[in-house]
């Protein structure tokens, strides 16, 4: 993995929190991004919130980005933003499509226009920025 990383390849651990994605993977491999399984985003229980929050904090402690998968509603997007996820992905932000269709999709007025971004202050507090660092209609990146 180290040699691959030296080539500039970034590695993401997908569906963390389900199946075989265990803590051993985090200890043994240098991941750049930890993608938190959609089941924790869809579930609005206190337990799911605690897991989503903990995995996000763990991602940051390991120097990786935390990405919330399966964001389908504005409430879910707001919840993962408040928790501190670095990125969100899901049907709210865009559906899978052939690469050739992306440009047309981005030009449509109905495409989502995500502008909510955050900046981390060293104290651990967050502030909402009035200007987005990066705006993307297919994913939501919080800074």
Residues designated as active site: 69
Nearest to 105 by CA among 113, 132, 78: 113
Rounded-to-integer distance, Cα 47 and Cα 50, Å: 5
H-type helices in the chain, by residue range? Answer: 2-6, 23-28, 38-42, 46-61, 74-83, 102-107
Rounded-to-integer distance, Cα 22 and Cα 10, Å: 19
> Structure tokens of 51?
């897991």
**DSSP 8-state assignment for residue 20:** T
Q: Are 30 and 62 in contact (CB under 8 A)?
A: no
């Amino acid at each position: 993995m180290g040699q691959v990383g030296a080539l500039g390849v970034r590695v993401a651990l997908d569906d963390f929190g389900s199946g075989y994605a265990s803590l051993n993977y985090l200890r043994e491999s240098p991941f750049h991004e930890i993608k938190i399984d959609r089941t924790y985003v869809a579930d609005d229980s206190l337990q799911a919130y605690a897991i989503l929050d903990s995995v996000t904090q763990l991602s940051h402690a390991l120097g990786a980005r935390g990405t919330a998968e399966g964001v389908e509603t504005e409430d879910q997007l707001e919840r993962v933003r408040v928790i501190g996820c670095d990125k969100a992905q899901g049907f709210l932000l865009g559906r899978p499509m052939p690469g050739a269709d992306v440009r047309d999709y981005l030009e449509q007025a109905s495409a989502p226009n995500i502008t909510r971004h955050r900046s981390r202050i060293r104290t651990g507090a967050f502030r909402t920025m009035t200007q987005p660092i990066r705006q993307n209609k297919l994913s939501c990146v919080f800074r």
